[in-house]
Protein backbone atom coordinates (compact mmCIF):
# COMPACT_ATOMS: atom_id res chain seq x y z
CA UNK A 1 0.00 0.00 0.00
CA UNK A 2 1.22 3.47 -0.88
CA UNK A 3 1.70 6.23 1.68
CA UNK A 4 -1.04 8.88 1.69
CA UNK A 5 -0.12 11.85 -0.48
CA UNK A 6 -0.35 15.45 0.75
CA UNK A 7 -0.28 17.99 -2.07
CA UNK A 8 0.44 21.66 -1.27
CA UNK A 9 -0.49 24.14 -4.02
CA UNK A 10 1.48 27.41 -4.05
CA UNK A 11 4.78 28.24 -2.37
CA UNK A 12 3.97 31.62 -0.83
CA UNK A 13 4.11 32.33 2.91
CA UNK A 14 1.32 29.84 3.64
CA UNK A 15 2.54 27.03 1.36
CA UNK A 16 6.24 27.29 2.25
CA UNK A 17 5.62 27.31 6.00
CA UNK A 18 3.10 24.44 5.80
CA UNK A 19 5.57 22.33 3.81
CA UNK A 20 8.42 23.17 6.15
CA UNK A 21 6.38 22.16 9.18
CA UNK A 22 5.12 18.95 7.57
CA UNK A 23 8.70 18.02 6.69
CA UNK A 24 9.62 18.34 10.37
CA UNK A 25 6.53 16.80 11.93
CA UNK A 26 5.88 13.77 9.75
CA UNK A 27 7.91 10.62 9.33
CA UNK A 28 8.57 9.76 5.66
CA UNK A 29 6.42 6.62 5.97
CA UNK A 30 3.46 8.66 7.28
CA UNK A 31 2.95 10.64 4.09
CA UNK A 32 4.42 11.59 0.77
CA UNK A 33 4.60 15.40 0.49
CA UNK A 34 4.35 17.22 -2.85
CA UNK A 35 4.75 20.99 -3.31
CA UNK A 36 3.53 22.56 -6.55
CA UNK A 37 4.49 26.12 -7.54
CA UNK A 38 4.51 28.15 -10.74
CA UNK A 39 8.21 29.01 -10.42
CA UNK A 40 11.25 27.31 -8.92
CA UNK A 41 11.51 30.25 -6.51
CA UNK A 42 9.50 31.55 -3.57
CA UNK A 43 9.15 35.33 -3.37
CA UNK A 44 8.48 37.81 -0.64
CA UNK A 45 5.17 39.30 -1.65
CA UNK A 46 5.58 41.84 1.14
CA UNK A 47 8.61 43.32 -0.66
CA UNK A 48 7.04 43.62 -4.10
CA UNK A 49 6.42 47.38 -3.77
CA UNK A 50 10.19 47.76 -3.44
CA UNK A 51 10.82 45.63 -6.53
CA UNK A 52 8.21 47.69 -8.42
CA UNK A 53 9.81 51.00 -7.45
CA UNK A 54 13.30 49.65 -8.08
CA UNK A 55 14.58 50.31 -4.56
CA UNK A 56 15.60 46.65 -4.19
CA UNK A 57 16.75 44.16 -6.80
CA UNK A 58 14.18 41.46 -7.58
CA UNK A 59 16.73 38.77 -6.72
CA UNK A 60 16.75 39.93 -3.11
CA UNK A 61 13.02 39.25 -2.92
CA UNK A 62 13.20 35.70 -4.24
CA UNK A 63 14.57 32.47 -2.81
CA UNK A 64 15.13 29.15 -4.57
CA UNK A 65 12.59 26.71 -3.12
CA UNK A 66 15.10 23.85 -3.12
CA UNK A 67 17.37 25.93 -0.80
CA UNK A 68 14.65 25.70 1.87
CA UNK A 69 12.72 22.52 1.13
CA UNK A 70 14.68 19.27 0.95
CA UNK A 71 13.90 17.74 -2.47
CA UNK A 72 14.77 14.29 -1.08
CA UNK A 73 11.86 14.55 1.35
CA UNK A 74 9.39 16.68 -0.64
CA UNK A 75 8.62 16.18 -4.30
CA UNK A 76 8.87 19.60 -5.96
CA UNK A 77 6.82 20.26 -9.08
CA UNK A 78 7.26 23.56 -10.91
CA UNK A 79 4.08 23.99 -12.93
CA UNK A 80 0.89 26.09 -12.97
CA UNK A 81 -2.25 24.82 -11.27
CA UNK A 82 -5.24 25.13 -13.58
CA UNK A 83 -8.03 23.37 -11.74
CA UNK A 84 -8.83 21.12 -8.79
CA UNK A 85 -11.13 18.18 -9.52
CA UNK A 86 -12.58 17.35 -6.10
CA UNK A 87 -14.71 14.41 -7.24
CA UNK A 88 -11.67 12.59 -8.56
CA UNK A 89 -9.18 14.02 -6.01
CA UNK A 90 -6.98 15.27 -8.82
CA UNK A 91 -5.19 18.52 -9.60
CA UNK A 92 -4.88 19.57 -13.22
CA UNK A 93 -1.59 21.33 -13.95
CA UNK A 94 -0.58 23.07 -17.18
CA UNK A 95 1.70 20.17 -18.14
CA UNK A 96 0.52 17.19 -16.12
CA UNK A 97 -1.96 15.90 -13.54
CA UNK A 98 -1.61 14.81 -9.96
CA UNK A 99 -3.79 12.88 -7.53
CA UNK A 100 -4.01 13.69 -3.81
CA UNK A 101 -5.30 12.26 -0.57
CA UNK A 102 -4.96 15.55 1.31
CA UNK A 103 -4.83 18.98 -0.32
CA UNK A 104 -3.63 22.38 0.86
CA UNK A 105 -4.71 25.29 -1.35
CA UNK A 106 -2.34 28.19 -0.73
CA UNK A 107 -2.31 29.89 -4.14
CA UNK A 108 -2.42 33.43 -2.77
CA UNK A 109 -4.07 36.57 -4.12
CA UNK A 110 -4.82 38.18 -7.44
CA UNK A 111 -5.26 41.89 -8.03
CA UNK A 112 -8.95 42.84 -8.08
CA UNK A 113 -10.02 45.56 -10.51
CA UNK A 114 -13.71 45.29 -9.54
CA UNK A 115 -14.59 45.44 -13.25
CA UNK A 116 -13.41 49.07 -13.55
CA UNK A 117 -13.39 49.85 -17.25
CA UNK A 118 -9.95 49.80 -18.88
CA UNK A 119 -8.06 48.84 -15.70
CA UNK A 120 -6.94 45.38 -16.89
CA UNK A 121 -5.75 46.78 -20.23
CA UNK A 122 -4.03 50.00 -19.16
CA UNK A 123 -2.80 49.70 -15.57
CA UNK A 124 0.14 47.82 -14.08
CA UNK A 125 -0.34 45.57 -11.02
CA UNK A 126 1.96 44.77 -8.10
CA UNK A 127 1.11 41.09 -8.19
CA UNK A 128 4.24 38.99 -8.53
CA UNK A 129 7.94 39.34 -9.36
CA UNK A 130 7.43 39.66 -13.11
CA UNK A 131 4.62 42.24 -12.95
CA UNK A 132 6.61 44.27 -10.42
CA UNK A 133 9.79 44.24 -12.51
CA UNK A 134 7.74 45.48 -15.45
CA UNK A 135 6.69 48.56 -13.44
CA UNK A 136 10.29 49.35 -12.53
CA UNK A 137 11.42 49.07 -16.15
CA UNK A 138 8.46 51.09 -17.42
CA UNK A 139 9.13 53.97 -15.03
CA UNK A 140 12.79 54.11 -15.97
CA UNK A 141 11.87 54.05 -19.67
CA UNK A 142 9.52 57.04 -19.18
CA UNK A 143 12.35 59.07 -17.68
CA UNK A 144 14.83 58.04 -20.39
CA UNK A 145 12.37 58.75 -23.18
CA UNK A 146 11.35 62.13 -21.74
CA UNK A 147 15.01 63.08 -21.72
CA UNK A 148 15.18 62.33 -25.43
CA UNK A 149 11.92 63.95 -26.54
CA UNK A 150 11.13 66.29 -23.62
CA UNK A 151 7.69 66.93 -25.00
CA UNK A 152 5.14 65.88 -22.43
CA UNK A 153 5.66 66.46 -18.70
CA UNK A 154 2.79 64.03 -17.94
CA UNK A 155 5.14 61.28 -18.99
CA UNK A 156 6.96 61.82 -15.69
CA UNK A 157 3.82 61.44 -13.59
CA UNK A 158 3.32 58.17 -11.70
CA UNK A 159 -0.31 57.58 -10.80
CA UNK A 160 -1.14 55.06 -8.07
CA UNK A 161 -4.79 54.03 -7.70
CA UNK A 162 -5.82 52.92 -4.20
CA UNK A 163 -4.45 54.23 -0.90
CA UNK A 164 -4.49 51.00 1.10
CA UNK A 165 -1.25 49.64 2.57
CA UNK A 166 0.09 48.47 -0.80
CA UNK A 167 -0.50 51.86 -2.47
CA UNK A 168 0.96 53.79 0.46
CA UNK A 169 4.05 51.59 0.81
CA UNK A 170 4.60 51.88 -2.95
CA UNK A 171 4.45 55.70 -3.05
CA UNK A 172 6.84 55.68 -0.08
CA UNK A 173 9.38 53.78 -2.19
CA UNK A 174 8.72 56.03 -5.19
CA UNK A 175 9.52 59.05 -3.01
CA UNK A 176 12.99 57.49 -2.60
CA UNK A 177 13.43 56.43 -6.20
CA UNK A 178 12.11 59.41 -8.19
CA UNK A 179 14.78 61.90 -6.99
CA UNK A 180 17.43 59.35 -8.00
CA UNK A 181 15.91 58.96 -11.46
CA UNK A 182 15.72 62.77 -11.83
CA UNK A 183 19.40 62.97 -10.99
CA UNK A 184 20.33 60.15 -13.35
CA UNK A 185 18.48 61.70 -16.29
CA UNK A 186 19.17 65.40 -15.44
CA UNK A 187 15.51 66.19 -14.93
CA UNK A 188 14.21 68.88 -12.59
CA UNK A 189 12.61 67.10 -9.58
CA UNK A 190 9.54 69.37 -9.71
CA UNK A 191 8.62 67.97 -13.12
CA UNK A 192 8.10 64.43 -11.85
CA UNK A 193 4.88 63.86 -9.89
CA UNK A 194 3.75 60.97 -7.68
CA UNK A 195 -0.03 61.00 -7.20
CA UNK A 196 -2.02 58.61 -5.01
CA UNK A 197 -5.79 58.44 -5.58
CA UNK A 198 -8.08 57.06 -2.86
CA UNK A 199 -11.88 56.73 -3.02
CA UNK A 200 -12.48 56.85 0.76
CA UNK A 201 -12.39 60.22 2.58
CA UNK A 202 -8.86 59.40 3.76
CA UNK A 203 -6.00 57.12 2.75
CA UNK A 204 -5.65 53.89 4.80
CA UNK A 205 -9.35 53.84 5.68
CA UNK A 206 -10.04 52.38 9.12
CA UNK A 207 -6.43 52.62 10.36
CA UNK A 208 -5.37 54.67 13.42
CA UNK A 209 -5.99 58.35 12.51
CA UNK A 210 -2.80 59.69 14.19
CA UNK A 211 -0.65 57.24 12.26
CA UNK A 212 -2.48 57.98 9.01
CA UNK A 213 -1.87 61.72 9.55
CA UNK A 214 1.81 60.97 10.22
CA UNK A 215 2.13 58.89 7.04
CA UNK A 216 0.43 61.51 4.92
CA UNK A 217 2.53 64.39 6.17
CA UNK A 218 5.78 62.42 5.87
CA UNK A 219 4.99 61.46 2.27
CA UNK A 220 3.76 64.95 1.31
CA UNK A 221 7.02 66.42 2.59
CA UNK A 222 8.80 64.16 0.12
CA UNK A 223 6.63 65.26 -2.80
CA UNK A 224 3.78 62.72 -2.85
CA UNK A 225 0.40 64.25 -3.75
CA UNK A 226 -2.87 62.76 -2.48
CA UNK A 227 -6.34 62.89 -3.97
CA UNK A 228 -8.74 61.63 -1.29
CA UNK A 229 -12.48 61.04 -1.64
CA UNK A 230 -11.67 60.55 -5.31
CA UNK A 231 -13.16 57.42 -6.80
CA UNK A 232 -11.52 56.06 -9.94
CA UNK A 233 -14.31 55.44 -12.45
CA UNK A 234 -12.27 54.19 -15.38
CA UNK A 235 -8.73 53.83 -16.69
CA UNK A 236 -7.60 54.85 -20.16
CA UNK A 237 -4.28 54.76 -21.96
CA UNK A 238 -3.73 58.31 -20.71
CA UNK A 239 -4.62 57.92 -17.03
CA UNK A 240 -7.43 57.61 -14.48
CA UNK A 241 -10.91 59.06 -14.90
CA UNK A 242 -11.72 60.29 -11.39
CA UNK A 243 -14.75 61.51 -9.40
CA UNK A 244 -18.30 62.49 -10.33
CA UNK A 245 -17.13 65.02 -12.89
CA UNK A 246 -14.95 62.40 -14.65
CA UNK A 247 -11.73 64.38 -14.45
CA UNK A 248 -8.89 62.78 -16.42
CA UNK A 249 -5.61 62.62 -14.50
CA UNK A 250 -2.86 61.96 -17.04
CA UNK A 251 0.30 59.97 -16.37
CA UNK A 252 3.09 58.06 -18.06
CA UNK A 253 2.87 55.28 -15.49
CA UNK A 254 -0.45 53.98 -14.15
CA UNK A 255 -0.44 51.45 -11.29
CA UNK A 256 -3.56 49.96 -9.69
CA UNK A 257 -3.29 48.97 -6.01
CA UNK A 258 -7.02 49.16 -5.28
CA UNK A 259 -7.66 45.69 -3.95
CA UNK A 260 -7.03 41.96 -3.94
CA UNK A 261 -9.06 38.78 -4.16
CA UNK A 262 -8.42 35.03 -3.99
CA UNK A 263 -6.72 33.05 -6.77
CA UNK A 264 -9.04 32.43 -9.72
CA UNK A 265 -8.31 28.67 -9.57
CA UNK A 266 -10.81 28.57 -6.65
CA UNK A 267 -13.69 29.68 -8.88
CA UNK A 268 -12.63 27.44 -11.77
CA UNK A 269 -12.68 24.49 -9.37
CA UNK A 270 -16.27 25.12 -8.28
CA UNK A 271 -15.68 26.19 -4.67
CA UNK A 272 -18.40 28.36 -3.20
CA UNK A 273 -16.97 31.87 -3.06
CA UNK A 274 -17.59 35.03 -1.07
CA UNK A 275 -15.89 37.97 -2.78
CA UNK A 276 -13.53 35.59 -4.57
CA UNK A 277 -12.44 33.51 -1.55
CA UNK A 278 -13.61 30.50 0.41
CA UNK A 279 -14.93 31.07 3.94
CA UNK A 280 -13.24 28.21 5.76
CA UNK A 281 -14.24 26.32 8.90
CA UNK A 282 -12.49 27.05 12.19
CA UNK A 283 -10.04 24.19 11.49
CA UNK A 284 -9.20 25.83 8.09
CA UNK A 285 -10.87 23.10 6.00
CA UNK A 286 -13.17 24.06 3.14
CA UNK A 287 -16.84 23.61 4.12
CA UNK A 288 -18.00 20.05 3.49
CA UNK A 289 -14.47 18.83 2.71
CA UNK A 290 -12.73 16.32 4.97
CA UNK A 291 -9.34 16.53 3.26
CA UNK A 292 -9.01 20.02 1.76
CA UNK A 293 -7.48 22.95 3.63
CA UNK A 294 -7.60 26.46 2.20
CA UNK A 295 -5.20 28.95 3.75
CA UNK A 296 -3.49 32.32 3.24
CA UNK A 297 -5.05 34.88 0.88
CA UNK A 298 -7.38 32.28 -0.68
CA UNK A 299 -9.32 31.96 2.59
CA UNK A 300 -11.64 34.09 4.65
CA UNK A 301 -11.05 33.18 8.27
CA UNK A 302 -13.79 34.59 10.48
CA UNK A 303 -12.96 36.89 13.34
CA UNK A 304 -15.84 35.67 15.49
CA UNK A 305 -15.44 38.54 17.96
CA UNK A 306 -15.97 41.20 15.29
CA UNK A 307 -18.29 39.18 13.05
CA UNK A 308 -16.14 39.74 9.94
CA UNK A 309 -13.10 38.04 8.41
CA UNK A 310 -9.51 38.91 9.32
CA UNK A 311 -7.70 40.95 6.64
CA UNK A 312 -5.42 38.95 4.33
CA UNK A 313 -1.83 39.32 5.54
CA UNK A 314 1.44 37.41 5.46
CA UNK A 315 1.37 37.38 9.25
CA UNK A 316 -1.96 35.52 9.20
CA UNK A 317 -0.90 33.25 6.29
CA UNK A 318 2.11 32.00 8.30
CA UNK A 319 -0.05 31.33 11.35
CA UNK A 320 -2.58 29.44 9.18
CA UNK A 321 0.34 27.24 8.10
CA UNK A 322 1.04 26.13 11.68
CA UNK A 323 -2.60 25.14 12.32
CA UNK A 324 -2.88 23.50 8.90
CA UNK A 325 0.25 21.36 9.40
CA UNK A 326 -0.90 20.35 12.92
CA UNK A 327 -4.33 19.40 11.58
CA UNK A 328 -2.88 17.34 8.73
CA UNK A 329 -0.80 15.42 11.24
CA UNK A 330 -3.90 14.96 13.41
CA UNK A 331 -5.88 13.60 10.45
CA UNK A 332 -3.11 11.14 9.59
CA UNK A 333 -2.88 9.98 13.21
CA UNK A 334 -6.65 9.92 13.85
CA UNK A 335 -6.40 12.65 16.46
CA UNK A 336 -8.74 15.60 16.93
CA UNK A 337 -8.26 18.81 14.94
CA UNK A 338 -7.62 22.26 16.42
CA UNK A 339 -9.27 25.55 15.54
CA UNK A 340 -7.23 28.48 14.27
CA UNK A 341 -6.61 31.31 16.74
CA UNK A 342 -5.10 34.50 15.32
CA UNK A 343 -2.33 36.10 17.36
CA UNK A 344 -2.31 39.67 16.07
CA UNK A 345 1.15 41.15 16.56
CA UNK A 346 0.25 44.42 14.83
CA UNK A 347 0.86 46.14 11.50
CA UNK A 348 3.88 48.11 10.34
CA UNK A 349 3.92 49.87 6.98
CA UNK A 350 7.08 51.25 5.41
CA UNK A 351 7.09 54.80 4.07
CA UNK A 352 10.46 54.51 2.33
CA UNK A 353 13.85 53.29 3.50
CA UNK A 354 14.13 55.27 6.73
CA UNK A 355 10.52 55.89 7.65
CA UNK A 356 7.55 53.73 8.64
CA UNK A 357 4.57 53.70 10.97
CA UNK A 358 2.33 51.16 12.63
CA UNK A 359 1.13 49.46 15.76
CA UNK A 360 3.17 46.75 17.45
CA UNK A 361 1.57 44.78 20.32
CA UNK A 362 -0.90 47.66 20.66
CA UNK A 363 1.72 50.44 20.78
CA UNK A 364 1.97 53.15 18.14
CA UNK A 365 5.34 53.48 16.46
CA UNK A 366 6.55 55.86 13.77
CA UNK A 367 9.75 57.21 12.24
CA UNK A 368 13.08 55.44 12.61
CA UNK A 369 11.99 53.03 15.39
CA UNK A 370 9.12 51.88 13.18
CA UNK A 371 11.47 51.50 10.18
CA UNK A 372 13.80 49.43 12.36
CA UNK A 373 10.86 47.30 13.54
CA UNK A 374 9.80 46.74 9.93
CA UNK A 375 13.24 45.32 9.16
CA UNK A 376 13.06 43.10 12.25
CA UNK A 377 9.74 41.71 10.98
CA UNK A 378 11.17 41.13 7.48
CA UNK A 379 14.32 39.49 8.81
CA UNK A 380 12.42 37.33 11.32
CA UNK A 381 10.64 35.64 8.45
CA UNK A 382 13.92 35.05 6.60
CA UNK A 383 15.28 33.45 9.77
CA UNK A 384 12.21 31.26 10.27
CA UNK A 385 12.49 30.09 6.69
CA UNK A 386 16.20 29.49 6.28
CA UNK A 387 18.12 30.35 9.44
CA UNK A 388 21.29 32.50 9.58
CA UNK A 389 22.57 31.21 6.23
CA UNK A 390 19.57 32.61 4.38
CA UNK A 391 19.66 35.81 6.45
CA UNK A 392 23.22 36.49 5.28
CA UNK A 393 22.11 36.00 1.68
CA UNK A 394 18.70 37.68 1.62
CA UNK A 395 18.27 39.61 4.89
CA UNK A 396 17.70 43.35 5.00
CA UNK A 397 20.89 44.85 6.26
CA UNK A 398 20.62 48.16 4.42
CA UNK A 399 21.95 50.85 6.74
CA UNK A 400 19.67 53.81 7.43
P1 LIG B 1 1.29 34.52 -1.87
O2 LIG B 1 2.36 35.12 -1.07
O3 LIG B 1 0.59 35.36 -2.87
O4 LIG B 1 1.88 33.21 -2.58
C5 LIG B 1 1.16 32.47 -3.53
C6 LIG B 1 2.10 31.53 -4.27
O7 LIG B 1 1.34 30.73 -5.18
C8 LIG B 1 3.16 32.25 -5.11
O9 LIG B 1 4.39 31.61 -4.96
C10 LIG B 1 2.64 32.08 -6.55
O11 LIG B 1 3.68 32.04 -7.51
C12 LIG B 1 1.94 30.74 -6.46
N13 LIG B 1 0.88 30.58 -7.44
C14 LIG B 1 -0.12 31.46 -7.73
N15 LIG B 1 -0.92 30.95 -8.68
C16 LIG B 1 -0.42 29.74 -9.00
C17 LIG B 1 -0.83 28.72 -9.91
N18 LIG B 1 -1.93 28.85 -10.67
N19 LIG B 1 -0.09 27.60 -10.00
C20 LIG B 1 1.02 27.44 -9.22
N21 LIG B 1 1.44 28.36 -8.35
C22 LIG B 1 0.74 29.49 -8.24
N23 LIG B 1 1.20 41.33 4.80
C24 LIG B 1 1.77 41.47 6.03
O25 LIG B 1 1.42 40.73 6.96
N26 LIG B 1 2.74 42.40 6.26
C27 LIG B 1 3.21 43.21 5.28
O28 LIG B 1 4.09 44.04 5.53
C29 LIG B 1 2.66 43.09 3.97
N30 LIG B 1 3.12 43.85 2.96
C31 LIG B 1 2.63 43.67 1.69
C32 LIG B 1 3.15 44.44 0.66
C33 LIG B 1 2.69 44.28 -0.63
C34 LIG B 1 3.30 45.09 -1.75
C35 LIG B 1 1.64 43.34 -0.90
C36 LIG B 1 1.12 43.15 -2.31
C37 LIG B 1 1.10 42.58 0.13
C38 LIG B 1 1.59 42.74 1.44
N39 LIG B 1 1.08 41.98 2.51
C40 LIG B 1 1.62 42.12 3.77
C41 LIG B 1 0.05 40.94 2.29
C42 LIG B 1 0.74 39.58 2.08
O43 LIG B 1 1.76 39.71 1.12
C44 LIG B 1 -0.22 38.49 1.66
O45 LIG B 1 -1.25 38.40 2.62
C46 LIG B 1 0.53 37.15 1.57
O47 LIG B 1 1.45 37.19 0.50
C48 LIG B 1 -0.40 35.97 1.41
O49 LIG B 1 0.37 34.79 1.40
P50 LIG B 1 -0.05 33.51 0.56
O51 LIG B 1 0.92 32.45 0.92
O52 LIG B 1 -1.50 33.26 0.73
O53 LIG B 1 0.11 33.93 -0.97
P1 LIG C 1 -6.79 47.16 0.23
O2 LIG C 1 -8.06 46.55 -0.21
O3 LIG C 1 -6.44 47.09 1.66
O4 LIG C 1 -6.74 48.70 -0.21
C5 LIG C 1 -7.24 49.15 -1.43
C6 LIG C 1 -7.58 50.64 -1.35
O7 LIG C 1 -8.04 51.06 -2.64
C8 LIG C 1 -8.68 50.96 -0.35
O9 LIG C 1 -8.26 52.01 0.47
C10 LIG C 1 -9.86 51.33 -1.24
O11 LIG C 1 -10.72 52.31 -0.62
C12 LIG C 1 -9.17 51.89 -2.47
N13 LIG C 1 -10.01 51.81 -3.66
C14 LIG C 1 -10.76 50.75 -4.08
N15 LIG C 1 -11.44 51.06 -5.21
C16 LIG C 1 -11.09 52.34 -5.53
C17 LIG C 1 -11.45 53.21 -6.60
N18 LIG C 1 -12.30 52.85 -7.55
N19 LIG C 1 -10.89 54.44 -6.63
C20 LIG C 1 -9.99 54.82 -5.68
N21 LIG C 1 -9.64 54.04 -4.64
C22 LIG C 1 -10.17 52.81 -4.56
O23 LIG C 1 -5.65 46.48 -0.69
P24 LIG C 1 -4.05 46.45 -0.48
O25 LIG C 1 -3.55 47.77 -0.05
O26 LIG C 1 -3.48 45.86 -1.70
O27 LIG C 1 -3.87 45.45 0.74
C28 LIG C 1 -4.24 44.07 0.60
C29 LIG C 1 -3.98 43.34 1.91
O30 LIG C 1 -2.58 43.24 2.14
C31 LIG C 1 -4.58 44.03 3.13
O32 LIG C 1 -5.08 43.08 4.00
C33 LIG C 1 -3.40 44.72 3.75
O34 LIG C 1 -3.55 44.85 5.15
C35 LIG C 1 -2.25 43.81 3.39
N36 LIG C 1 -1.03 44.59 3.30
C37 LIG C 1 -0.37 44.83 4.46
C38 LIG C 1 0.78 45.61 4.45
C39 LIG C 1 1.50 45.84 5.74
O40 LIG C 1 1.12 45.28 6.75
N41 LIG C 1 2.55 46.63 5.76
C42 LIG C 1 1.25 46.15 3.24
C43 LIG C 1 0.54 45.90 2.06
C44 LIG C 1 -0.61 45.12 2.12
DSSP 21: H
Pair 130, 271 in one domain: no
Active-site residue (options: 32, 50, 110, 169): 169
Instruction: Indicate whether 305 and 377 sit together in one domain.
Output: no
Question: Do 141 and 221 belong to one domain?
Answer: yes
Q: Is the CB of 281 under 6 A from ligand 1?
A: no
Distance 165 CA to ligand 2 centre (A): 5
pTM: 0.97
Query: Cβ distance 194 to 161 under 8 Å?
Result: no
Each residue's pLDDT tens digit, 275-315: 999 999 999 999 999 999 999 999 999 998 999 999 999 99
- ipTM, 2 decimals? 0.99
Q: Domain count of the chain?
A: 2
Q: Is residue 287 part of a domain?
A: yes
Quick check: is 69 in a domain? no
Tell the residue nearest (CA) to atom 30 of ligand 1.
Answer: 46
Pair (309, 270) in one structural domain: yes
95 and 135 belong to one structural domain = no
DSSP label at 79? Answer: -
Domain boundary among 316, 335, 354: 335
CATH number at residue 390: 3.50.50.100
> In this predicted model, what pLDDT tens digit does every residue of 33-57 receive, in sequence order?
999 999 999 999 999 999 999 999 9
In a domain, 358, yes or no: yes
Pairing of strands 102-105, 253-256: unpaired
Q: At what angle do helices 314-332 and 368-394 cross, to 10 degrees?
A: 50
137 Cβ contact list (under 8 Å, min separation 6): none
Q: What one-character-per-residue DSSP string does 318-356 give? A: HHHHHHHHHHHHHHHTT-----------EEEEE-SSS-E
Whether 304 is in a domain gets the answer yes
Can you give the pLDDT at residue 396? 84
In a domain, 266, yes or no: yes
Q: Are residues 159 and 220 in the same domain?
A: yes
Q: How far is the CA of 304 from the centre of ligand 1 (A)?
A: 24
Instruction: Tell me, using a 6 A CB cutoff, whether residue 276 lines ligand 2.
Output: no
The residue range of the domain holding 288 is: 5-38+79-111+260-335
In a domain, 55, yes or no: no
Q: Residue 339: which residues within 8 A CB-CB, separation 6 or more?
A: 282, 283, 323
Q: How far apart are CA 305 and CA 187, in angstroms?
A: 53
Predicted confidence (pLDDT) per residue in 176-214, tens digit:
999 999 999 999 999 999 999 999 999 999 999 999 999
| Any domain includes 198 | yes
Residue 126 CB less than 6 A away from ligand 1: yes
CA of 270 from ligand 1 middle (Å) equals 22
CA of 259 to the centre of ligand 2 (A): 5
Q: Which helix (H) or strand (E) holds 373?
A: helix 368-394
For ligand 2, atom 40, which residue shows the shortest CA distance?
Answer: 347
* 121 part of the active site: no
Amino acid sequence: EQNPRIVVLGAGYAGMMTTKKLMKQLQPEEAEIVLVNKHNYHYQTTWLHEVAAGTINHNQARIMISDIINPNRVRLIYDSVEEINRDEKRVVLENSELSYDYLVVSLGFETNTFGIKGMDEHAFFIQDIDSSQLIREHIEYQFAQYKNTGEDDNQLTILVGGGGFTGIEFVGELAEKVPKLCKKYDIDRSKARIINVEAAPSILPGFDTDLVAYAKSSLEKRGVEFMEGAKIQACTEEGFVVGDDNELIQAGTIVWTGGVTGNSVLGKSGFELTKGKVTVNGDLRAPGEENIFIIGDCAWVMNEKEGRPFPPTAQAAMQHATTCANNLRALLRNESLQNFVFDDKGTVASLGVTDAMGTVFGNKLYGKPAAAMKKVVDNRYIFMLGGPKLFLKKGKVRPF
